[in-house]
Amino acid sequence: MSENETITQELCKEVDMKDGEMQEFQVQGQSILLVRNNGIFSATGNKCSHYGAPLSKGVLVGDRVRCPWHGACFNVRTGDIEEFPGLDSLPCFKVTVENGSVCIVTTKKALESTKRVKSMSSRSAGDRSSVVIIGTGPAALVFAETLRQEGYTGKIVMVTREKHIPYDRTKLSKAMNVKAEEIYLRPTEFYKEHDLEVWTEKEVVSINTDEARVKFKDGSFLQYSQLLIAVGSRPRELKCPGSTLQNVFYLRCPEDAGAIFEAASSKNVVILGSSFIGMEVAAFLADKARSISVIGKSDVPFQAVLGKQIGEEAMKLLKDRGVNFYMRTEAREIRGNNGQVNEVLLRNGTLLPADVVVVGIGVTPASNFLKGSRIAVDTKGAIYVDQVLILCRVLYY
Ligand SMILES: Cc1cc2nc3c(=O)[nH]c(=O)nc-3n(C[C@H](O)[C@H](O)[C@H](O)COP(=O)(O)OP(=O)(O)OC[C@H]3O[C@@H](n4cnc5c(N)ncnc54)[C@H](O)[C@@H]3O)c2cc1C
Ligand code: FES
């Protein structure tokens, strides 16, 4: 059978599915999601374009299915992604209903891919405008891709102070030994193909909105027609004595994750903070470090965001894996030897041995460089000032 030859396969009988129902079917080895809504059948790929969760196990509301793992939403009529995370849409298939039989009509080629990249414009030499995006996180990348999907033909430049093209930061606390290249959101060729420039190791130090240009730490400038600030956040800094000793780590980029992973193997690790970063790092290092102690100010981990019941369960799971918890307290002092951490004194008087300290006590917007500019920062959302759009945080837990 040639790859473009039409395949018609019966999926079910019309009476087998009620309105508002969805079911998974296998067609030539590919998992298909069949939905019946308002009497109409539609079929898309069943694997979420983010990390492949089966959408048939998600929630259908109207024409939208929400992924059961991290909540991405797809339109079941078109396969288009409508809420993130995830960058790509789903393949969408023709469905026929004849004599009570519901059939998918497709080709072998169309069944090959579980993702669909939306079509994008490219740069036109005649378009002299430029959009500069500070940041290469998911907010920046989705923005850049959306511009091309919507037909923008000017120059698009994303700049980052980090060493890497856009990557999945969320992996860093779950697979700390991952190589940055393994978690790139798009391959290098993608940016070339769609005329998206990514400038790495270019830290922005100020913005001049009167002259419409950004200044970099190396002294160079970049002119923009429109500017998006999508700089995310930076870890909140620890203020107690000893916080600058060697082996006190924050977790933000692949280099941080790799350094913590190397330093922590078979060592005593103290983790300050019992929310997502602290708990995920504890879970990852549980079978690698000699000891792990998690310090938290609340009664149980995750209390502020997920409540006591879930916090208790999470604490129990990690206790069963040998993680020690010191709750309702915080670090008073980090003590060192020859500039290197060797113990942590808690406010409740407990003294813990420590070769490595990981600080995960929250984040603040990475907007320091805006001081002195005319740009106001609203940490709750996005605002426009003189052709400048600010996206302060994107959350998709
Ligand atoms: C270890 C870790 C694990 C996480 N796990 C999860 C998870 O499981 N689920 C979840 O929903 N969220 C998770 N998060 C949070 C999630 O990563 C963020 O919410 C998300 O990355 C925010 O996206 P963003 O595009 O707004 O900014 P960011 O991803 O923070 O990107 C900001 C970008 O701005 C750049 N930048 C900042 N300042 C400057 C400057 N002055 N000059 C140039 N460039 C600059 C940075 O280099 C970076 O490219 C995690 C975060 C971390 C650190
Ligand atoms: S796997 Fe679907 S949102 Fe992550």
Q: pLDDT tens-digit profile of 355-373?
A: 999 999 999 889 888 887 8
Give the Å distance between the CA of 262 and the centre of ligand 1: 22
Give the Å distance between the CA of 52 and the centre of ligand 2: 6
> What is the reported pLDDT for 328?
98
The residue-averaged pLDDT of 214-237 equals 95
The residue-averaged pLDDT of 86-115 equals 96
Share of the chain above pLDDT 70, in %: 94
Give the Å distance between the CA of 363 and the centre of ligand 1: 10
Q: 188-212, pLDDT tens digit by residue? A: 999 999 999 999 999 999 999 889 9
Ligand 2 binding residues, C-beta < 6 A: 48, 50-51, 53, 67, 69-72, 85-86
Nearest CA owner, ligand 1 atom 50: 170
The residue-averaged pLDDT of 268-293 equals 98
Q: 40-60, pLDDT tens digit by residue? A: 999 999 999 999 999 999 999
Give the Å distance between the CA of 195 and the centre of ligand 1: 23
Strand partners, 190: none
- Rounded to the nearest 5 percent, the helix, strand and coil shares of the chain are 20, 35, 45
The residue-averaged pLDDT of 209-216 equals 93
Q: 4-53, pLDDT tens digit by residue? A: 889 999 999 999 999 999 999 999 999 999 999 999 999 999 999 999 99
- Please report, in angstroms and rounded to a whole number, the separation of the first and last CA atoms in the chain: 44
Q: How far apart, in whole angstroms, are the C-alpha atoms of residue 396 and residue 345?
A: 35
Give the Å distance between the CA of 51 and the centre of ligand 2: 5
387 confidence band (pLDDT: 50, 70, 90): low
Report the nearest atom of ligand 2 relative to the CA of 52. 1
> What is the token pair recorded at 363?
């984040």
Mean pLDDT of the chain: 94
Q: How far apart, in whole angstroms, are the C-alpha atoms of residue 151 and residue 141?
A: 16
pLDDT at 2 over 90: no
Residue from 157, 164, 165, 231 whose mutation best tests the ligand 1 pocket (most atoms within 8 A of CB): 231
> What is the reported pLDDT for 375?
76
Sequence-ordered strand ranges (E) for 212-346: 213-216, 221-223, 226-229, 233-235, 248-250, 268-272, 291-295, 324-326, 331-337, 340-346
Q: Which ligand is nearest to the CA of 170?
A: 1
pLDDT at 262 over 70: yes
Give the Å distance between the CA of 36 and the centre of ligand 1: 38
Q: Which ligand is nearest to the CA of 138?
A: 1
Map out the domains of the chain with their CATH numbers. 6-107 (2.102.10.10), 130-232+366-391 (3.50.50.60), 248-362 (3.50.50.60)
Share of the chain above pLDDT 90, in %: 89
> What is the reported pLDDT for 250?
98
- Tell me which long-range contacts 30-37 makes (C-beta under 8 A, separation of at least 24): 30/111, 30/112, 30/114, 31/114, 32/93, 32/104, 33/65, 33/76, 33/90, 34/95, 34/102, 34/104, 35/60, 35/65, 35/76, 37/62, 37/63, 37/76
Is the Cβ atom of 161 under 6 angstroms away from ligand 1? yes
> What is the reported pLDDT for 209?
87
Give the Å distance between the CA of 164 and the centre of ligand 1: 13
The residue-averaged pLDDT of 257-273 equals 98
Nearest CA owner, ligand 1 atom 3: 170
392 confidence band (pLDDT: 50, 70, 90): low
> What is the reported pLDDT for 376?
66
Q: What is the 3-state secondary structure of 328-380?
A: CCCEEEEEEECCEEEEEEECCCCEEECCEEEECCCEEECCHHHCCCCCCCCCC
381 confidence band (pLDDT: 50, 70, 90): very low
Q: 288-299, pLDDT tens digit by residue? A: 999 999 999 999
